[in-house]
Structure 1
Amino acid sequence: MIIVTGATGALNGATVDHLLERVPADEITVAVRDVAKAERFAERGVGVRRGDYGDPGSLPCAFEGADQLLLVSSNDPGADAVSLHRAAIEAAMAVGVGRILYTSHQGAGIDSAFAPARVHAATERLLAESGVAWTSLRNGFYAHSLNWLAGSWRETGVIPVPADGPVSWTAREDAAEAAAVVIASNGAYDGPTTLTAGSAPTFQDVAVIASELTGDEITCVVSDPDEWIAAQVTQGMNEFAAHFTLGMYLAAAEGRFAGVDPLLGELLGREPQTVRDLLAQPVAV
């Protein structure tokens, strides 16, 4: 049996959709915090169980019988994500899960300026020490994040950043589909597995692409980090969120998201989506 956590979210929900194209529904179960939100999967014959990282007692029953278990990383900025992941891994160990897969991130590192990268590195260490077969899906930085990380450039003509560096912007939809292929391979991919788009443009490169698409001159302006923080707070972002976001730009400037790998395209059987594809899409209103 394949059990998928976080299936009411965009990433793992799409992964389940793609799994259903490859695996019979009665071989898939989703473990979610709110079972009512998983009705669309139940209607397709997928098993639904309650499982909440924040309620460790719910996890053994949620994970029971899993040959493969896909753990989504916690995205609650106020939580101790590593502790939540530890609870999930320990529950999986207790019920004899065959393989744990985890939605990690390219650039995972204990010394990264980007806080989630530190969480991913710590979680991968827990997986390596668990004694259970594991796969860490090191997805490239999700491309939809550009819609807010690049700012309101369509209106201002400026992409303001506090630091610049290459980022392998990767479509979340592509990562979800690739995860389904990896799971359906039943153990063909072991340990850290990097899934990125085929290129890693800087924000300066993004400005060039935006200029070509719009016919207008879009520029990237790199400002002092402290000044950038102050500007974000003035515009309504809380200070914690501003410093959290700054870590992404600083990690990019260190080259943490620069690597690219052909595996994603191989798993998809086509070229992954690009930054140009993203910027060419209509803006949601």
Structure 2
Amino acid sequence: MITVFGATGTTGAPLVDTLLAKGANVRAVTSDPTKLDALKAKGCEAVTANFTDTAALEQACDGAEKIYLVTPAHLDMRQWKANAIEAAKAVGVRHVVMATGLGASPKAGLTFGKWHSENQEQLKESGLDWTFVQPTYFMQNLLWQADSIAKDGVYHDDLGGPVAWIDARDIADVAAEALTAPGYESKVLGLTGPEAFAADDIAAILSEVTGRTVTSAPLSADEAKAAMMAGGMQDEVAAAMVELASIAPKGYLAGIETTVSDVLGRPARRLHDFVSENRDAFV
């Protein structure tokens, strides 16, 4: 049994599909009971659990040999992960594959890196086998702007520098390998796409794929933070997101990792292909 937390999320949903395609016995966990039927229709067990409910977390992990642990970006995410790790240990889970962030380590200088590092160290100290999946920015994040791009023909750039965007489906596929194949214990898997793109590059891809002119426009740190908070993000978390974006102009988000191709034996998905698959959303 493999328990997947965040089973309706950006990485969790495709992970459930990939694991089922591999023939794995999957228990999908969601905090939203209205999503249980859709999960069960995929052919997996589905349960509800809140990260603050220790008993529910233990029930979600009970009988599972391995779990995939991911939480939303939230001020309480460190405690949520800690609760899940403790629950997994209490019921005899053997291996935890945990999604954190690229560059997370005890030496991290950024807020998110420090927050993720706390849970990484806790998991290391738990006595459980561990694998850290550390992705960069998701290509799926571009869909947050799909409506405004379609309406105004403008991609609003809050990064100001090149980023090696990764498709969340590649994250899921790598996580699936770590959950089903031997040899990934005590591994840190840094994940990026195969190319780094700045704002003008993204606008050019959008223009080519949609057949209409899309330009890029800078979004200031204050504007970006305000937009995230308007979407429901907490002040401290939005500030950490802005801090992360601030290293893009220095090229620190442009590095290319070969992990996807190394693990899966195929190239990582390209941004051009992602935009093409989602063309209708941008027009």
1:181 is aligned to 177
2:100 corresponding residue in structure 1? 104
The DSSP-based 3-state class of the residue aligned with 1:20 is helix
Normalized against structure 2, the TM-score is what? 0.81
Q: Which residue of 2 aligns with 1:13?
A: 13
Q: Cα distance 1:214–1:34, how it changes in 2: closer, same or farther (>3 A)?
A: closer
Task: Name which of 204, 207, 210 aligns with 2:203.
Answer: 207
Structure 2 Cα separation of the partners of residues 135 and 45 of structure 1: 26
State the shift of 1:183 in Å: 1.2
Partner of 2:83: 87
Task: Tell me by how many angstroms 1:62 deviates.
Answer: 2.0
Instruction: Tell me if structure 1 keeps the 8 A contact 2:225–2:239.
Output: no
Q: Does 1:42 align with 2:30?
A: no
Q: Deviations over 1:103-162 (max 9, x none)?
A: 2222335422xx544432222122122221100111231102123469945554544435
8 Å CA contact retained: 1:150, 1:160:
no
Residue 65 of structure 1 and its aligned partner are, at CA, apart by 2.4
Q: Give 3-state SS (helix, strand or coil) of 2:96's partner.
A: strand
Query: Does structure 2 conserve the Cα–Cα contact (< 8 Å) formed by 1:73 and 1:102?
Result: no
Q: Which residue does 2:279 correspond to in 1?
A: 282
Q: 1:132 aligns with which of 121, 128, 136?
A: 128
Residue 69 of structure 1 aligns to a residue whose secondary structure is strand
Whether contact under 8 Å (2:96, 2:131) holds in the other structure is: yes
Between the aligned partners of 1:53 and 1:119, the Cα distance in structure 2 is 17
What's 1:141 paired with? 137
Distance 1:230 1:171, change over 3 A: closer
* 1:51-109 Cα distance to aligned partner (Å, 9 max, x none): 3211122222221222211112233x3x4110111111111122221111112222335
Change in 2 beyond 3 A, CA 1:194/1:229:
closer
| 1:104/1:139 contact within 8 Å kept | yes
CA 1:44–1:147 in structure 2 vs 1: closer, same or farther (change >3 Å)? closer
User: 1:180: Cα distance to partner?
Assistant: 1.5
Q: Give the Cα separation in 2 of the matches to 1:88 and 1:66.
A: 13
Structure 1 residues 159 and 242, CA gap change in structure 2 (3 angstroms): farther
Matched, 1:29 2:27: yes
Match of 1:61 in 2: 59
- Looking at structure 2, the residues matched to 17 and 230 of structure 1 have their Cα atoms a distance apart, in angstroms, of 33
Q: Which sections of structure 2, spanning at least 5 residues, go unmatched?
A: none
* Aligned residues: CA RMSD: 3.2
Q: CA deviation at 1:225?
A: 3.7
How far does the alpha carbon of each residue in 1:156-199 deviate from its partner, in whole angstroms, 9 at most, with x for none?
45444355222111111222222222211144353311222111
Instruction: Output the CA distance in 2 between the equivalents of 1:187 and 1:32.
Output: 29
Write the distance in 2 (CA, Å) between the matches of 1:28 and 1:99: 15
> May I ask how many residue pairs the two structures share in their alignment?
276
Identity %: 29
Deviation larger for 165-174 or 30-39: 30-39
Match of 1:51 among 49, 52, 63: 49
Paired position in structure 1 for 2:254 = 258
C-alpha separation in 2, matches of 1:210 and 1:86: 40
Q: Is the Cα contact below 8 Å between 1:107 and 1:117 reproduced in 2?
A: yes
Unaligned runs of 5+ in 1: none
Cα deviation code 1:2-40 (max 9, x no counterpart):
11112133421221111111124xx32223334552334
Instruction: Label 1:231 to 1:134 Cα distance change in 2 as closer, same or farther (>3 A).
Output: closer
Instruction: Give the TM-score taking structure 1 as reference length.
Output: 0.80
Which letter does structure 2 place at the counterpart of 1:135?
A: T
Tell me the distance in 1 between the aligned counterparts of 2:80 and 2:227. 30
Moved over 6 A (4+): 236-239
